[in-house]
Structure 1
Amino acid sequence: MMAWQSIEHLAAQQALVGKQRRIMYDGTSSFLKEPSMLNPADQLLLKSLCNDLVAVEEQLSELEAHREAIRARLSELVDQLGGKIQLRGFGTLQISNPSVVVSYDRKGIEQLVQELEEAGNFALVDAIQTSRKESMRSGGLRIMREKL
């Protein structure tokens, strides 16, 4: 049941939420609010939505496990049938070869750039810095679950 579908569901949780002494982020400022500082309707809605989120995440976890089992079986079959299959109406299934992915430790590179700069090797510092890419990441809800 989704939180916005049943007011009765929210009302039934009022006693439970009233007894809880958990700290919740208010979402609008940089400080934490005690649940007693939130109005009861917001407390109920937050708790109900969190419960809904847990239920959806459990379903997703089960679906992901089922998906992986299906993909493993498909992989076995495609491998047995030569590694590449064209299914009309679906597409192509192909086993890819293993590959190596190369990456660099950002902190290590930054330390190297600092050392090169201190040593006066500005040409190399500039060459490395021209390869530096920055991108913005939008802010969003961060959920930190309690340890059970």
Structure 2
Amino acid sequence: MGLRGKESKQIEIKCDDNLFFEVLRYGLSHVSKLSPETIQGCDLVEGQWGAVGCVICWNFNCDGKENVAKEMISVIDEKNRLMEFKVIEGDMMKAYKSFVSTFQSANNTVTWTIEYEKTNENVPNPTSLLELLAKITRDIDINHQAIPGLAANN
């Protein structure tokens, strides 16, 4: 079992790919309203919403445990509807030396890819975190019309 890994998951969505990208680019502050069972809070710590370099603090529930993670948006590719988030602080850093999640929306499918390095071999692969991203994706797909200004684009 290696310490470094990469896992992906595809989730079919009904909403438009561009709209989904817009929600994750400009509507992150609304995600706790769209997926309240999973996300309890999402706050901008530094920078501007939807910009490379901004830092976001997430309060979320995974495997029945409350967690906090600070992420930085490290890549935004509008042409390919792709964003990359790098965890820089928080509970996840106890188990992972590095953790990067990337999403891309295309052809009514969202693909999440996580790349990570575990702190030791006893740390399980982050399958539950990938499932958490899939759940959030499904919640956004179902509830995205609750974001003012974005629903009109659907």
For the aligned pair, the TM-score class normalised by the smaller chain equals under 0.3
> What TM-score, normalized to structure 2?
0.22
More helix by share: 1
More strand by share: 2
CA radius of gyration, larger in: 1
